[in-house]
Structure 1
Protein backbone atom coordinates (compact mmCIF):
# COMPACT_ATOMS: atom_id res chain seq x y z
CA UNK A 1 0.00 0.00 0.00
CA UNK A 2 1.50 3.31 -1.14
CA UNK A 3 0.94 6.54 0.83
CA UNK A 4 2.56 8.88 -1.73
CA UNK A 5 0.18 11.37 -3.36
CA UNK A 6 -0.51 10.87 -7.03
CA UNK A 7 0.81 13.40 -9.52
CA UNK A 8 -1.77 15.31 -11.60
CA UNK A 9 -2.39 13.56 -14.88
CA UNK A 10 -3.59 16.57 -16.83
CA UNK A 11 -7.04 15.14 -17.44
CA UNK A 12 -10.02 17.15 -18.52
CA UNK A 13 -10.83 18.26 -14.99
CA UNK A 14 -7.32 19.14 -13.75
CA UNK A 15 -5.25 21.67 -15.75
CA UNK A 16 -1.49 21.23 -15.40
CA UNK A 17 0.46 24.49 -15.58
CA UNK A 18 4.01 24.56 -16.83
CA UNK A 19 6.64 26.83 -15.22
CA UNK A 20 7.17 28.75 -18.47
CA UNK A 21 3.47 29.59 -18.66
CA UNK A 22 3.33 30.93 -15.11
CA UNK A 23 5.74 33.79 -15.88
CA UNK A 24 3.90 34.76 -19.06
CA UNK A 25 0.54 34.96 -17.33
CA UNK A 26 1.81 36.88 -14.29
CA UNK A 27 1.28 40.56 -15.13
CA UNK A 28 2.97 41.85 -11.96
CA UNK A 29 6.05 39.66 -12.59
CA UNK A 30 6.39 41.00 -16.12
CA UNK A 31 5.86 44.58 -14.95
CA UNK A 32 8.45 44.38 -12.18
CA UNK A 33 11.14 42.66 -14.26
CA UNK A 34 10.50 44.81 -17.34
CA UNK A 35 10.47 47.97 -15.26
CA UNK A 36 13.72 46.95 -13.62
CA UNK A 37 15.34 46.46 -17.03
CA UNK A 38 14.09 49.85 -18.22
CA UNK A 39 15.38 51.57 -15.07
CA UNK A 40 18.75 49.84 -15.35
CA UNK A 41 18.97 51.01 -18.96
CA UNK A 42 18.23 54.57 -17.79
CA UNK A 43 20.96 54.28 -15.17
CA UNK A 44 23.56 53.08 -17.68
CA UNK A 45 22.52 55.80 -20.14
CA UNK A 46 22.80 58.45 -17.40
CA UNK A 47 26.31 57.26 -16.53
CA UNK A 48 27.37 57.62 -20.17
CA UNK A 49 25.76 61.06 -20.44
CA UNK A 50 27.53 62.20 -17.27
CA UNK A 51 30.89 61.44 -18.87
CA UNK A 52 29.90 63.32 -22.02
CA UNK A 53 28.62 66.35 -20.04
CA UNK A 54 31.97 66.69 -18.30
CA UNK A 55 33.50 67.52 -21.67
CA UNK A 56 35.28 64.24 -22.31
CA UNK A 57 35.52 63.22 -25.96
CA UNK A 58 33.08 60.57 -27.12
CA UNK A 59 34.87 57.24 -27.20
CA UNK A 60 33.95 53.81 -28.45
CA UNK A 61 33.29 52.78 -24.84
CA UNK A 62 30.75 55.58 -24.38
CA UNK A 63 28.96 54.62 -27.59
CA UNK A 64 28.93 50.97 -26.49
CA UNK A 65 27.53 52.02 -23.13
CA UNK A 66 24.68 53.98 -24.76
CA UNK A 67 23.95 51.07 -27.11
CA UNK A 68 23.86 48.67 -24.17
CA UNK A 69 21.50 51.03 -22.31
CA UNK A 70 19.15 51.15 -25.30
CA UNK A 71 19.15 47.37 -25.58
CA UNK A 72 18.36 46.98 -21.86
CA UNK A 73 15.41 49.36 -22.19
CA UNK A 74 14.17 47.60 -25.33
CA UNK A 75 14.41 44.23 -23.58
CA UNK A 76 12.32 45.64 -20.72
CA UNK A 77 9.66 46.85 -23.14
CA UNK A 78 9.53 43.44 -24.81
CA UNK A 79 9.12 41.72 -21.41
CA UNK A 80 6.23 44.02 -20.51
CA UNK A 81 4.52 43.87 -23.92
CA UNK A 82 4.97 40.08 -24.34
CA UNK A 83 4.38 40.05 -28.13
CA UNK A 84 5.10 36.31 -28.47
CA UNK A 85 2.57 35.32 -25.84
CA UNK A 86 -0.13 37.38 -27.55
CA UNK A 87 0.66 35.89 -30.96
CA UNK A 88 0.13 32.32 -29.78
CA UNK A 89 -3.29 30.89 -30.49
CA UNK A 90 -5.10 29.37 -27.53
CA UNK A 91 -6.95 26.18 -28.29
Structure 2
Protein backbone atom coordinates (compact mmCIF):
# COMPACT_ATOMS: atom_id res chain seq x y z
CA UNK A 1 0.00 0.00 0.00
CA UNK A 2 1.72 3.17 -1.17
CA UNK A 3 0.04 6.33 0.01
CA UNK A 4 1.56 9.73 -0.58
CA UNK A 5 2.83 11.32 2.62
CA UNK A 6 2.69 8.12 4.67
CA UNK A 7 5.89 6.56 5.89
CA UNK A 8 6.29 2.88 6.68
CA UNK A 9 6.48 3.25 10.47
CA UNK A 10 3.31 5.33 10.61
CA UNK A 11 1.46 2.76 8.48
CA UNK A 12 2.72 -0.20 10.53
CA UNK A 13 1.78 1.47 13.81
CA UNK A 14 -1.76 2.23 12.67
CA UNK A 15 -2.26 -1.17 11.04
CA UNK A 16 -1.21 -2.95 14.23
CA UNK A 17 -4.67 -2.12 15.61
CA UNK A 18 -7.05 -4.91 14.59
CA UNK A 19 -10.07 -2.60 14.20
CA UNK A 20 -8.19 -0.14 12.01
CA UNK A 21 -6.83 -3.04 9.99
CA UNK A 22 -10.40 -4.28 9.42
CA UNK A 23 -11.57 -0.83 8.28
CA UNK A 24 -8.64 -0.39 5.91
CA UNK A 25 -9.10 -3.92 4.55
CA UNK A 26 -12.77 -3.20 3.88
CA UNK A 27 -11.87 0.06 2.08
CA UNK A 28 -9.21 -1.71 0.03
CA UNK A 29 -11.56 -4.51 -0.98
CA UNK A 30 -14.23 -2.00 -1.96
CA UNK A 31 -11.69 -0.14 -4.08
CA UNK A 32 -10.59 -3.35 -5.79
CA UNK A 33 -13.88 -5.21 -6.20
CA UNK A 34 -16.54 -2.58 -6.93
CA UNK A 35 -16.59 -2.09 -10.68
CA UNK A 36 -19.49 0.37 -10.91
CA UNK A 37 -18.14 3.91 -11.16
CA UNK A 38 -21.47 5.25 -9.85
CA UNK A 39 -21.32 3.15 -6.70
CA UNK A 40 -17.66 3.99 -6.20
CA UNK A 41 -18.34 7.72 -6.61
CA UNK A 42 -21.30 7.66 -4.21
CA UNK A 43 -19.38 5.76 -1.55
CA UNK A 44 -16.36 8.06 -1.98
CA UNK A 45 -18.66 11.02 -1.27
CA UNK A 46 -19.99 9.32 1.86
CA UNK A 47 -16.49 8.46 3.09
CA UNK A 48 -15.35 12.05 2.66
CA UNK A 49 -18.42 13.25 4.56
CA UNK A 50 -17.51 10.89 7.41
CA UNK A 51 -13.94 12.18 7.48
CA UNK A 52 -15.16 15.80 7.37
CA UNK A 53 -17.43 15.00 10.32
CA UNK A 54 -14.52 13.48 12.25
CA UNK A 55 -12.49 16.67 11.77
CA UNK A 56 -15.39 19.05 12.42
CA UNK A 57 -14.84 18.94 16.18
CA UNK A 58 -11.16 18.07 16.20
CA UNK A 59 -10.67 20.11 19.38
CA UNK A 60 -12.49 17.35 21.26
CA UNK A 61 -9.54 15.00 20.83
CA UNK A 62 -6.61 17.39 20.48
CA UNK A 63 -5.16 15.99 23.72
CA UNK A 64 -5.40 12.41 22.47
CA UNK A 65 -2.50 11.85 20.03
CA UNK A 66 -3.47 8.21 19.36
CA UNK A 67 -6.96 9.15 18.20
CA UNK A 68 -5.67 12.11 16.20
CA UNK A 69 -3.06 10.01 14.39
CA UNK A 70 -5.65 7.30 13.70
CA UNK A 71 -7.99 9.85 12.12
CA UNK A 72 -5.05 11.26 10.15
CA UNK A 73 -4.21 7.77 8.92
CA UNK A 74 -7.78 7.02 7.85
CA UNK A 75 -8.02 10.38 6.10
CA UNK A 76 -4.85 9.63 4.14
CA UNK A 77 -6.29 6.28 3.07
CA UNK A 78 -9.65 7.74 2.05
CA UNK A 79 -8.04 10.69 0.22
CA UNK A 80 -5.66 8.39 -1.62
CA UNK A 81 -8.07 5.63 -2.64
CA UNK A 82 -11.33 7.55 -3.05
CA UNK A 83 -11.07 10.68 -5.16
CA UNK A 84 -12.96 13.64 -3.77
CA UNK A 85 -15.32 15.12 -6.31
Provide the TM-score with structure 2 as the length reference: 0.38
Query: Larger relative contact order (C-alpha < 8 A, sep ≥ 6)?
Result: 2
Structure with the larger helix share:
2
Larger radius of gyration: 1
